[in-house]
Amino acid sequence: MERSDVRSLYLLAAFLVCAYAMPFLVGAWAGTVRLDERWLGNLATVVVGGVMQGGVYAMFALGLTLIFGVMRIINAAHGEMVMMGAYLTWVAFFYLGVDPLLSIVLTLPIAFVFGVVVQKLLLDAAVGAPELTGLLITFGLGLAMIYTAELIFTTDFRTIPYAPGTVQLTSAIAVGQNRVISFVLAVAISTAVYLFLKLSRLGKAVRATALNAEVAMVCGIDVRRIYLITTGLAAALAVAGGALVSIQFGFNPETGVLYTLQAFAIIVLGGRGHYVGALIGGLMLAVLENLVSLMVPNGTAMVELAAYGLMISVLLIRPGGLMGVKEG
Amino acid sequence: MRSTRGSSSSGSDSNQRETSTHGGLGMKTAAILAFAGALAALFVLGVGTGWAGHRPNNEVLVGGAISQTGQYAEPAGRQVYSIKLWVDEVNARGGLLGHTIVLRLLDDKSDIQTSIKLYEKLITEDKVDLLLAPYSSGITEAVANVNERYKMPFLAYGASSTPIWEKGRRYIFNIVAVAEDYQKGAVHLARQIGVTKAAIIGQDSLFPRQAGKGAKDWCKKLGIDVVLEENYPTKQTDFTALLQKIKAADAEAVFSNSYFADSAAQLRQMRELNLNFKLYSSTIGPSLPNFPEQLGATAEYVLGFSQWEPLPKVLGHPGMQEYIERYEKRFGEKPNYHAGGAYGALQVTEAALKKVGSFDNEKLRDALATMEVQTIYGRYKVDARGMNSHEGLTFQVLRGQRRVVWPEKWAETRAELPTPEWSKR
């Protein structure tokens, strides 16, 4: 690690300590922080809730970071792929009567094929082109997906009443069943993808392509095939994320935009193209949002300000993000 | 007669295409062609029809921009249904003052800036003869500056925030109950079951803020202590922290000024976190047709507000039964209050135009300001500000059905409160 790199890491660490201390300080000043047992229970519930949430966010951020890492394309349609996953799950649940978790087994292959098709038809043209090309192509794809979904499903909000009960972790900490299920699945799927990338031959080829596509090609890796697999995998991650989102929140064709933004903030925070960074970024973002909301007076209105403020600050202090990916 | 109807339906078809390719090159070419065609027709016919904004084929252009996509698409969509129903009915009756209605309904994408642009376009480029209102208080507030400038009146059916009518505007009228009264019934019911501490939360936009202000005033009047008041961003999905905060403040009742996604998320997360409140009330969410169906048992006991319900026997407004039947036959669901309000407003507009006898906007404005009309939605008669004193009702979701519980004169059943704990449901 170079010296400037180390310095920016320390600076970032110091900044993050301040950022996370801020809600506590404001809360103490406003009198919303009470250090009794009940309040600490609230705090713990909120942090646990944030971690559960962050795990799911991290999973679809992983897909975004994968495409970016391998092809240097910012997939602006990633949130729409999440939305597509939510609708696939919804259709499977309400029309075919398939359990939302079981339906992941059905939807993942569909998502993979969808990703491959998108790569073939659209993204192949954007690889190696200026970054704006990929951004515009995927932006257009996202809009097309939104309006297609509106045609089929209308703009009505949908939700799936699945596992609505509660899990009492301790007497003070409760968390939703669906959240626990989502979190466990998100961690399992993310870990599987991570291990695939780390250990399998194909995964290593993906990483090699991410490091340097030309060298990978010289070494005999079929780079175009790697691109297909990458986008297929990213789409599958997004669709799986959509399934997990659909059992927690309401969604309509336009909610995808929100998830694109969230995934964006997460990978900027964690480090673009960095897989573990996405996980850490996801957890950090969700926990900070919840802390601000719990302690700052009228803090829920400031959640987005805090989240994107964090993103911008990280970009300024350490453009490569937490895990420090060097540009160029 | 048949030929006019045919031309009107093809007219509205091409409008829909216009909506979808709006802004594209095709539309421009089409617009130029249409313009050239209209000019040619004028030269050939060489006649005017006697009133401003006249068009070929004895048509009248009725236009507006309303959210067909975006966050307001769900409630506004029901108003679009009513608008389409009304247009076809009027055309079948022989048109507005004998003119076939051509409907130009654009999509503002639930966006204020887009809406302003579209209304400018409708008034200055398309030169519509009659304006229709947009949906949501925020958008209506912005559009009110545009139509005021061009002195074109409309009757708002999607805005209930009082400040819109407190700026001395002359060309905007309303038909619905004001935002400040959305939680009125819920606060009264809370008082009845002895609630002393309440939380008021809501989305951070004009209408929920006004509803929150009204809820606070009603709480003050009835002696309920507001222990927490908080707004959240429009796209908020995770309410874990906010709900914990409400519980920490010892609130017994939650008055949530929310739409569908946010109220659904709040309820689900209350259940997940096992947080029990004596009463939960939401302004918009529960009144949407698919709310109980999508949420299942989680929606039970929730209080909601309705401007109107499709209950002709309870409300007894003239023509209700027939309207409900026609609407249900065409769209496969009963109209909700958004649909009813839009239809009522269009009935008033039609009556006002009949009284005036022409498409003179100034005279139409005067008629809207002074007339009293009975509609399927209730009585219309505005005060000096242009506001109607419409009375809404509060309902509770009981066994998957919305049942009116307040005010007492319209109550179908007694409210089942306080809400049982999650573990006992």
Q: In the predicted model, is pLDDT for residue B135 greater than 90? A: yes
Q: In the block, which residue shows the tokens 């009505």? A: A156
Summarised one tens digit per residue, pLDDT across range A72-105 is 999 999 999 999 999 999 999 999 999 999 999 9
Summarised one tens digit per residue, pLDDT across range B52-80 is 455 677 899 999 999 998 888 888 999 99
Per DSSP, chain B holds a count of helices (H) and strands (E) of: 14, 14
- What's residue B295's pLDDT? 87
- What's residue A319's pLDDT? 86
Any B CB within 8 A of A250 CB: yes
**Three-state SS across chain A?**
CCHHHHHHHHHHHHHHHHHHHHHHHHHHHHCCCCCCHHHHHHHHHHHHHHHHHHHHHHHHHHHHHHHHHHHCCCCCCHHHHHHHHHHHHHHHHHCCCCCHHHHHHHHHHHHHHHHHHHHHHCHHHCCCCCHHHHHHHHHHHHHHHHHHHHHHHCCCCECCCCCCCEEECCCCCEEEHHHHHHHHHHHHHHHHHHHHHHHCHHHHHHHHHHHCHHHHHHCCCCHHHHHHHHHHHHHHHHHHHHHHHHCCCCECCCCHHHHHHHHHHHHHHHCCCCHHHHHHHHHHHHHHHHHHHHHCCCHHHHHHHHHHHHHHHHHHHCCCCCCCCCCC
**Token duo for residue A130:** 């200026």
Q: Round to whole Å and give the CA distance between A159 and A248.
A: 8
Q: Round to whole Å and give the CA distance between A172 and B346.
A: 54
**Token duo for residue B301:** 């006991």
| pLDDT-above-70 percentage for chain B | 87
Which residues of B are less than 8 Å from A162 in CB distance? none
Q: In the predicted model, is pLDDT for residue B22 greater than 50? A: no
Identity (one letter) of the amino acid at B39? Answer: L
Q: Round to whole Å and give the CA distance between B121 and B279.
A: 46
Q: Do A289 and B268 touch (CB under 8 A)?
A: no
HSE, CB side, 13 Å, CA atoms: give it for residue B283.
Answer: 29
DSSP SS3 for B229:
strand
Taking the CA of residue B344 and the nearest CA in chain A, the distance in Å comes to: 23
Maximum Cα interatomic distance, chain A, rounded to a whole number of Å: 64
- What's residue B250's pLDDT? 94
Q: Do A42 and B237 touch (CB under 8 A)?
A: no
Q: Any residues with CB less than 8 A from the CB of A120 and at least 6 apart, and which?
A: A228
Q: Do A161 and B241 touch (CB under 8 A)?
A: no
Q: Are strands B373-375 and B279-282 parallel, antiparallel or unpaired?
A: unpaired
Q: What is the mean pLDDT of residues B404-408?
A: 92
CATH number of B180-306+392-424: 3.40.50.2300
Any A CB within 8 A of B421 CB: no
Q: What angle do CA A184, A186, A192 make, to 5 degrees?
A: 100
Write out residues in chain A with pLDDT < 50, as ranges. Answer: 327-328
Domain contains A74 = yes
Query: What is the pTM for the complete model shown?
Result: 0.79
Which residues of B are less than 8 Å from A286 in CB distance? 238
Which residues of B are less than 8 Å from A301 in CB distance? 204, 230-233
Q: In the predicted model, is pLDDT for residue B240 greater than 80? A: yes
Say yes or no: domain B2-177+317-380 is CATH 3.40.50.2300: yes
- What's residue B36's pLDDT? 57
Q: Round to whole Å and give the CA distance between A278 and A282.
A: 6
Taking the CA of residue B246 and the nearest CA in chain A, the distance in Å comes to: 9
Q: In the predicted model, is pLDDT for residue B17 greater than 70? A: no
- What's residue B15's pLDDT? 39
Q: Which of B237, B296, B422 sits opposite A161 (nearest CB)?
A: B296
What is the H or E stretch that residue B104 is in? strand B100-107
Taking the CA of residue A41 and the nearest CA in chain B, the distance in Å comes to: 10
Mean pLDDT of chain B: 87
Domain that holds residue A209: 60-283
Q: What is the mean pLDDT of residues B205-221?
A: 94
Q: Which of B230, B244, B295 sits opposite A298 (nearest CB)?
A: B230
- What's residue B376's pLDDT? 96
**CB contact at 8 A, B179 and B210:** yes
Q: In the predicted model, is pLDDT for residue B169 greater than 70? A: yes
Which residues of A are less than 8 Å from B235 in CB distance? 258, 304
Q: What angle do CA B405, B406, B412 make, to 5 degrees?
A: 40
Q: Round to whole Å and give the CA distance between B245 and B249.
A: 6
What is the H or E stretch that residue B112 is in? helix B112-124
- What's residue B38's pLDDT? 54
Q: Round to whole Å and give the CA distance between B132 and B104.
A: 10
Q: Round to whole Å and give the CA distance between A111 and A238.
A: 8
Domain contains A238 = yes
Taking the CA of residue B353 and the nearest CA in chain A, the distance in Å comes to: 33
Identity (one letter) of the amino acid at A42? Answer: N
- What's residue A3's pLDDT? 81
Residue ranges per structural domain of chain B: 2-177+317-380, 180-306+392-424
Q: Are strands A166-168 and A174-176 parallel, antiparallel or unpaired?
A: antiparallel
Q: In the predicted model, is pLDDT for residue B81 greater than 60? A: yes
**B-interface mutation test, from A24, A157, A160, A258, most B Cβ less than 10 A away:** A157
Q: In the block, which residue shows the tokens 């975006």? A: B70
- What's residue B303's pLDDT? 97
Taking the CA of residue A200 and the nearest CA in chain B, the distance in Å comes to: 37
Altogether, the residues listed in chain B come to a count of: 425
Q: What is the DSSP letter of B386?
A: S
The confidence band for B206, taking pLDDT boundaries of 50, 70 and 90, is confident
Any A CB within 8 A of B77 CB: yes
Q: In the predicted model, is pLDDT for residue B359 greater than 90? A: yes
Taking the C-alpha atoms of B38, B39, B44 and B50 in order, what is their torsion angle to the nearest 10 degrees? Answer: 80
Q: What is the mean pLDDT of residues B187-192?
A: 96
- What's residue A74's pLDDT? 92
Summarised one tens digit per residue, pLDDT across range B326-337 is 999 999 999 989
Domain contains A223 = yes
- What's residue B37's pLDDT? 54
- What's residue B391's pLDDT? 87
What is the H or E stretch that residue B86 is in? helix B73-92
DSSP SS3 for B38:
helix
Q: How many domains does chain A have?
A: 1
Identity (one letter) of the amino acid at A198? Answer: K
- What's residue A5's pLDDT? 81
Altogether, the residues listed in chain A come to a count of: 328
DSSP SS3 for B333:
coil
Q: What is the DSSP letter of B412?
A: S
Q: Do B241 and A39 touch (CB under 8 A)?
A: no
Q: Identify any residues that bridge with B404 across adjacent strands, giving them in sequence order.
A: B395
